[in-house]
Amino acid sequence: MITEPTVTVWGVTVMTDELRAFLPPADDDFDAFNNDSIDADYLTSAAGKICYTPKPNWNNKATNSVEKYVKNILSLEHYSVLAHAGIVFYIEGVSRALTHELVRHRFLGFSQASQRYQDSSSLDWVCPPLALDDQVAQEMLGMSFEHSREEYIELADQFQRENADKFDPHMLRKRSREAARAVLPNMTETKIVVSGNYRAWRDFLIQRLDPTADLEIMRLGQKLLPIFGDYATQSFSDIMERYGPKQ
């Protein structure tokens, strides 16, 4: 039984030397200039600045730092400049039910473990958050999953025996698994790589951290939120204030 997801950062936007040269030198307003974790915020700020001047103008006291500028962007809902930077996650320990919800966010990119190519006989099941404190429900879910897994194994073997003369060995395995997976339930674990720009990720968080969202994907959003706070501090500051840990 899996009780929570595991999230690993696989890639983030990093500033180039050319972008650094485009920005003002470090001073009191840019004390975190050399901190790679906020490269995305610098990129967002520079992109926003050139919308109005050929070279970023940092003389306006109201927006003369990255923090001030991005806060101004968020207040104006000028979200297009948040689409230049992004992040890639490797997510494990989530259910197929969750990924069916997740892939509806069409501005994110996905690479998911294939049930056609991979053998699903050793997969585990993901406990729905509502059942985490319910021992009876966990036993029922576990028994149901084990029954489905046994049927999957039997069906895969059956399909291979009955169709051995129709396909080469590689195709036979794929055809057998794609047919046998029909009995696997939504709680079956899966792994998925998800990438997206920060504008798309903001949309994901706003929708999935809402109290009416599916509980499992809400839990994933809660796990992702502090990571966004680390890698794009200012770009997610308003969502952190709304949904992050209360001080």
Q: How many CB atoms lie within 10 A of CB 147?
A: 12
d(CA 115, CA 82): 34
d(CA 201, CA 198): 5
d(CA 209, CA 130): 16
Catalytic annotation, pick one of 96, 177, 208, 219: 208
The beta strands (E) that lie in the chain are given as 6-12, 86-95, 109-112, 189-197
Catalytic, 106? Answer: no
**Distance between the two ends of the chain, CA-based, in angstroms?**
33
Q: Return the structure tokens found at 126.
A: 């993901």
6-12/109-112 β-pairing: unpaired
Whether 12 contacts 88, CB under 8 Å:
yes
d(CA 227, CA 219): 14
Whether 10 contacts 91, CB under 8 Å:
no
d(CA 54, CA 227): 33
Buried b or exposed e, range 185-198, using 16+ CB within 10 angstroms: eebbbbbbbbbbbb
Catalytic residues: 208
